[in-house]
Amino acid sequence: MSAPWAEWDHIVKLDPDKSLVDGESYADVCETGTDAIEIGGTTGMTEAKMTEVIEPCAAAGREHDVPVYIEPSHPGTVVHTDGLSGYLVPTVFNAGDIAWLTGVHKEWARMDTEIDWDRTHTEAYIVLNPDSSVAEYTQANCDLDADEVAAYATIAERLFGQEIVYLEYSGTFGDPEVVTAASDALDDATLFYGGGIGDYDTAHEMGGRADTVIVGDLVHDEGCDAVRETVRGAKEAGQERIEPDR
């Protein structure tokens, strides 16, 4: 049985430190057509902020049959509540600070007695925007060429058994050739791409190279109509990957 994310073309990532556009709800986000919702962020994360978003979002996800996952940035942001599909936990392969490979994860296992390991999965992050908060936070080495990114993707899948490899350009549109190189390096792992997806064209461009496109800031800045266009772009690109001669 394949993992659920193997079928995803599009994810909306909600930042609990940001608000939705006035007048929009988590039900509206679910109705964009996205395949899944992740809840998490890099800065300003607290348990209270996570809870405020997770509970109504999980309820909307149940109603609209959209899976909802927490993406925790540190142990204090993990919330256990009914309706969650699980936890997608980043481990940053090009981090300069080893805490973001295993250290923070060790602390979570030490502090949290309620971890549902059957629903807890890792994402092999490769952070590629040196100006992003996540790069600063993890001291990531972002000065990587396509071959190096492909090598990280290879070891993530082959040596460490990662089922998800996540190219994180965080707020800027990435290099399509780098994304293609990472995709070509993988056999069975699912390639997530995040960064600078703001319309149909950018979603279609990266959706033709990565398996799954992730939209974050757009839902907070421009709202669900804009997100819906990225869903259309990602899904049409995904269909073209399946039927390349159509």
Q: Domain spans of the chain?
A: 4-242
85, 87, 114 from 118: Cα distances, Å: 11, 10, 12
Residue 83 has pLDDT above 90, yes or no: no
50, 81, 88, 206, 234 from 41: Cα distances, Å: 10, 18, 12, 22, 22
Residues of the chain with pLDDT > 90: what percent?
A: 67
Structure confidence at residue 45 (pLDDT) = 66
CB 29 within 8 A of CB 37: yes
Residue 76 has pLDDT above 90, yes or no: no
Residue list for the binding site: 13, 15, 42, 166-171, 196, 216-217
Mean pLDDT, range 220-237, rounded to an integer: 96
Mean pLDDT, range 59-68, rounded to an integer: 93
More confident residue, 184 or 42: 184
Give residue-wise pLDDT tens across range 150-207: 999 999 999 999 999 999 998 899 999 999 999 999 999 999 999 999 999 999 999 9
Residue list for the binding site for Mg(2+): 15, 42
Q: Would you say the pTM of this structure is higher than 0.85?
A: yes
Identify the CA nearest to 215 among candidates 184, 200, 113: 200
Residue list for the binding site for sn-glycerol 1-phosphate: 13, 166-171, 196, 216-217
The span from the CA of 193 to the CA of 214, in Å, is 6
Cross-strand partners of 95: none
Residue 101 has pLDDT above 90, yes or no: no
pLDDT classification of 44: cutoffs 50, 70, 90: low
Structure tokens at 112: 């949290």
CATH architecture of 4-242: Alpha-Beta Barrel (3.20)
Cross-strand partners of 124: 91, 165
